[in-house]
Chains A and B, each alone.
Chain A
Amino acid sequence: MARAARTALLATIATLIAAWVLFPILLISLAAFSSRAQLYSWPRAIFPTPPTMDTILFFLRAQGVWQATLNSLIVALFTIALAVAIGAPAGYALSRFRFPGREGFRLGILATKMFPATVLAIPLAVAYIRWGLYDNLLGVAIVHTALALPFAVVITTSVFIGVPMELEEAAMTLGCTRLQAFLRVALPIALPGLAAAAIFTFVLSWNEVFAAAILTLHNRTLPALLINAVAFAGAPLDYRFAGGFFMIVPAMIIIFIIRRYLMTLWGVTIR
């Protein structure tokens, strides 16, 4: 009885949270396939009648959208490269070695997430202008790397914990050096998990709007372009909805594909 009640309560909470996330996505998606006239009519119909691609096509033809998408991809790829190159070795070290300050290091990594980025905005912009990184895609990627690193380290740590040390030791007794053992045994086994970490980093970078908006002027990433258009340029409704939809879809698909690996972020293993 108590168990049934608990299950029911959990299900209710889960449903509410899911609805809280999914309902706006649903509204945006429906709006993205409605015609411009329908979006501006009152009272507004929820379901597009008839569904149309006009709104999406209007957005895709708008000035700067393709360049911003390309910029977003470039930033995301830079971010992935940096975050994996820095995060994976840290994750490997945390999973394999006991060293003084290990726990402090782990906590320190997560503590960076407690720091509000807003506080950093002005100093960061000033520093970037001085260093010549302002309005530079690599500069945005560096900030995104800083944001993604804690996740990259935590995910890769659990990925490497899942690869028993004995496998590498076995490889070493069979003639491998330490590096060969890692490259031939640990890395191939960890690859799917590392890919998940990379993709998660991609989503993080793809969606990040704050740093991108502050640190770019002409070289806008897609979220920066959108936030500028919506907040300052007064973009029409169909542009907003189509843009939102265009942002959401890749992230949704990717998260759906890698959801199994994201669980390992919380130490849950599903086999």
Chain B
Amino acid sequence: MATVLLDRVTKRFGRVRAVDGVTLEVRDGEFMVLLGPSGCGKTTALRCVAGLERMDAGRIVIGGEDVTDRQPGRRGIAMVFQSYAVFPHMTVRDNITFGLRIRKTPAEETRQRTLQAAELLQIGELLDRYPAQLSGGQRQRVAVARAIVMQPEVLLMDEPLSNLDALLRLQMRAELKRLHRETRATTVYVTHDQVEALSLGDRIAVMRSGAIVQCDTPSAIYNRPASTFVGGFIGSPPMNFFGGTVEEGGRSVRVAGTVLGLEERWAGAEGIRAGGEVLVGVRPEAFEVTTETRAGAFPAVVVVIEPLGGTTLLTVSVDGETAKVTVAPDTDHDPGQRVWLRPLPDRLRLMEPGSGRAVIPTQEGARR
């Protein structure tokens, strides 16, 4: 087990800065998720940690030791690849023991650790098969077993679930979580799937264009996105943003012609000026929906109704802008119906319209 530090890491491909001065500290035993859209540099960052990419600048420190110039095999890491990268010309057993054999581990210890890893991944009866005889899910398990049998200080995973079908992915996701609890290896996990990130991560580092835009716990990322990008990328459907004007010196904001009262913590926050423009960010589930007008609620027209089983998703039009609202499945709505939306004051976020950066309320600011 060890900490991992990416220290101002930069990696260029030609003129493109795939990773642009990223600094990230992963704590001992932590499950860190790198999350972002494709091309944001998350996989490149992971490959820098593994030593598979030559960095243009920066350092990688693992367990307090600078490993920047070390070969991948001398960094105390193990990696699970997106394509699994299981060796096709070896049996499952030889795949799992490969790294131990390279390290010249004694035969008896090799045997024991192999059985242990195979048991942990429930592939004990597949040991004498070749990868071609395995299903995708089983190959995935072999790849994970091959990594954890090394008892790595740091386990790196590059979208390990993306090639599995939906049901298997759900199952494997829970298994990875259990595995992490049992091995407690510091884990860096790359994914573009926000649900995976939210469910697995102790913390999530959201990346965009080669930089980390927010690194925090899943609930903080979800509830207090640091920018419109994070709010829009995480959550399905994403966070809604409404243009508004600050009034009464920051005690209220006017959206769609309606005055919404703000909690006190917004009043003194940086970026909040009377008459200034802000974006009001509200999660789809953070509305109270009524069919009659009431204080602090703005009008909207229902456009589409999608029952999703557990909830019902409404697409509504607010002043010509589209918004998504989730409501309880038993509520009765019709297309064209006029409704009033009241954002829950404690779930409401304010963003600067130009930069998209979140406004930090005073109390949160004090808490940090």
- Chain A 154-175, CB within 8 Å of chain B: the 1/0 string? 0000000000101101111111
Question: Chain B residues near A174 (CB, 8 Å)?
Answer: 73, 78, 98-99, 102, 146, 150
Give the most central of B50, B98, B103: most A CB within 10 Å. B98
* Bound-complex Cα distance A157 to B57 (A): 32
Within 8 A of A (CB), among B81-99: 81-83, 85, 87-89, 98-99
Return the contact of A177 from the options B50, B71, B98 (Cβ within 8 A): B71
| A residues 162-196 in Cβ contact with B at 8 Å | 164, 166-167, 169-177, 180, 185, 188-189
Query: Whole-angstrom distance between the alpha carbons of A66 and B367 in the complex?
Result: 93
Contacts of A171 in B (CB 8 A): 87, 98, 102
Give the Cβ gap from A164 to chain B, nearest Cβ, in Å. 6
Are A164 and B85 CB-contacts (below 8 A) given A172-B71, A174-B73? yes
B89 touches A189 (CB 8 A): yes
Query: Nearest CB to that of A180 among chain B residues?
Result: B102
- Provide the residues of chain A in CB contact with B102, threshold 8 Å: 171, 174-176, 180
Q: State the Cβ distance, B84 to closest chain A Cβ, in Å.
A: 9
Bitwise interface map of B from 93 to 114 toward A, beta carbon under 8 Å scored 1, else 0 = 0000011001100000000000
Q: Taking the nearest CB of chain A, how far is it from the CB of B143, in angstroms? A: 8
Contact residue range for chain A? 10 to 19
A172, A176, A185: the one within 8 Å of B52 (CB): A172
B135 to chain A, nearest CB (A): 18
B73 A173 Cβ-Cβ under 8 A: yes
A185, B87: Cβ atoms closer than 8 Å: yes
Q: Is the interface of B mostly helix, strand, loop or mixed?
A: mixed
Please, how many angstroms separate the alpha-carbon atoms of A173 and B146 in the complex?
A: 11
* Chain A contact residues: helix, strand, loop or mixed: helix
Q: Is the CB of B87 within 8 A of A167?
A: yes
Which single residue of chain B is at the shortest CB-CB distance from A167?
A: B85
A169–B89 CB distance below 8 A: no
| B149 CB to nearest A CB, Å | 9
B358 interfacial contact with A, CB 8 Å: no
> Please, which residue of chain B has its CB at the minimum distance from the CB of A166?
B85
Q: Of all chain A residues, which has the CB nearest B149?
A: A174
A residues within 8 A CB of B83? 164, 166
- Residue of A170, A175, A188 near B103 (CB, 8 A) is A175
Decide: B85 and A170 in contact? CB cutoff 8 A.
yes
Distance (whole angstroms) from the CB of A186 to the closest CB of chain B: 10
Q: Give which listed residue, B73, B89, B146, contacts A172 with CB less than 8 A.
A: B73
B73 pairs with A177, CB closer than 8 A:
yes
Residues in chain A near residue B82, CB distance under 8 A: 166
Closest to B104 in A: A175
Contacts of A177 in B (CB 8 A): 71, 73
CA distance A171 to B81 in the complex (A): 11
A68 CA to B223 CA, complexed, in Å: 84
Contacting pair A188 B73 (CB below 8 A): no
Q: Are A173 and B88 in contact (CB under 8 A)?
A: no
Given A174-B98, A175-B99, residue A169 in contact with residue B150 (CB < 8 A):
no
Contact of B77 among A164, A167, A173, A176 (CB under 8 A): A173
Asked if A170 contacts B88 (CB within 8 A), the reply is no
Cβ A166 vs Cβ B73 within 8 A: no
Which residue of chain B has its CB nearest to the CB of A189?
Answer: B89
A164 to B99, CA, bound (A): 19
* Per-position 1/0 for A237-253, Cβ under 8 A of B: 00000000000000000
New A-B contacts (9) at CB < 8 Å, excluding given A166-B85, A169-B79, A171-B102: A164-B85, A167-B85, A172-B71, A172-B72, A173-B72, A174-B99, A174-B150, A175-B102, A177-B73
Question: 19 pairs across A/B with beta carbons < 8 Å?
Answer: A166-B82, A169-B52, A169-B72, A170-B146, A171-B87, A171-B98, A172-B52, A172-B73, A173-B51, A173-B73, A173-B77, A173-B79, A173-B156, A174-B73, A174-B78, A174-B102, A174-B146, A175-B74, A176-B102
